[in-house]
Chain A
Amino acid sequence: KAGVTQTPRYLIKTRGQQVTLSCSPISGHRSVSWYQQTPGQGLQFLFEYFSETQRNKGNFPGRFSGRQFSNSRSEMNVSTLELGDSALYLCASSASGQGGTEAFFGQGTRLTVV
């Protein structure tokens, strides 16, 4: 069974641009969560989608948004990029949307904003 796949692996963008990251969960998993990892703040929850609906959202500005498609694949978008958005963006998939179930991460997308 394939794991969680995130594309692209690396990305360099300029301040003010926007970016879209993609995540394909494990087959059969319907919950996709996104996290930001930085040396300064550690791993922080961005949002979670289940059956195309956002169910939970972290404390990030509205520039960060996401969506989920009917095949459970998810995308996150960051608009008007800032230098501080440079981070490793991680996606995790779970079979159930109820919590209390194993969550598996992808390799992440390393975003550098210059």
Chain B
Amino acid sequence: GESVGLHLPTLSVQEGDNSIINCAYSNSASDYFIWYKQESGKGPQFIIDIRSNMDKRQGQRVTVLLNKTVKHLSLQIAATQPGDSAVYFCAENRPGTASKLTFGTGTRLQVTL
């Protein structure tokens, strides 16, 4: 039968503001998480990762927060720029699954001028 497109939540942010993208992950045993950015027509681009023994990690203009109690990840982008417009995915890796990543559905970030 026909497949229905996934409904991607959209976050619209003004240039210069901070963005917060949220992700609920599925397995409490997951111990490694990655955020990816995917622009139209391109493959996912690694942004930042975090292990389950941490609750916060910072990169350049990005911060990832991990709340294991409620199985929640967030990606904060400071001073959002037009080039940040893309779809953002969180991915989880579970012990015993080698390098297999399980992806969330994604969030579309639109940066308005």
Give the total number of A-B pairs whose CB atoms are below 8 A apart.
Answer: 88
Contacts of A100 in B (CB 8 A): 31-32, 51, 93
Contacts of B102 in A (CB 8 A): 45
By size class, the interface of chain A is 35 or more
Q: How far is the CB of A48 from chain B (nearest CB, A)?
A: 5
With beta carbons under 8 angstroms apart, the residue of B34, B43, B96, B97 that contacts A102 is B34
Distance A11 CA – B42 CA, assembled complex (angstroms): 15
Give a binary string over A41-63; 1 marks a CB under 8 Å from any B CB, 0 the rest.
11111001010000110100000
| In the complex, chain B residues 59-113 whose Cβ is within 8 Å of any chain A Cβ | 89, 91, 93-106
The answer to whether B3 and A42 touch across the interface, beta carbons within 8 angstroms, is: no
Binding site for B on A (CB under 8 A): 4, 6, 31, 33, 35, 38-45, 48, 50, 55-56, 58, 84, 90, 92, 94, 96-108
B residues with a Cβ closer than 8 A to A are 3-6, 31-32, 34, 36, 42-46, 49, 51, 89, 91, 93-106
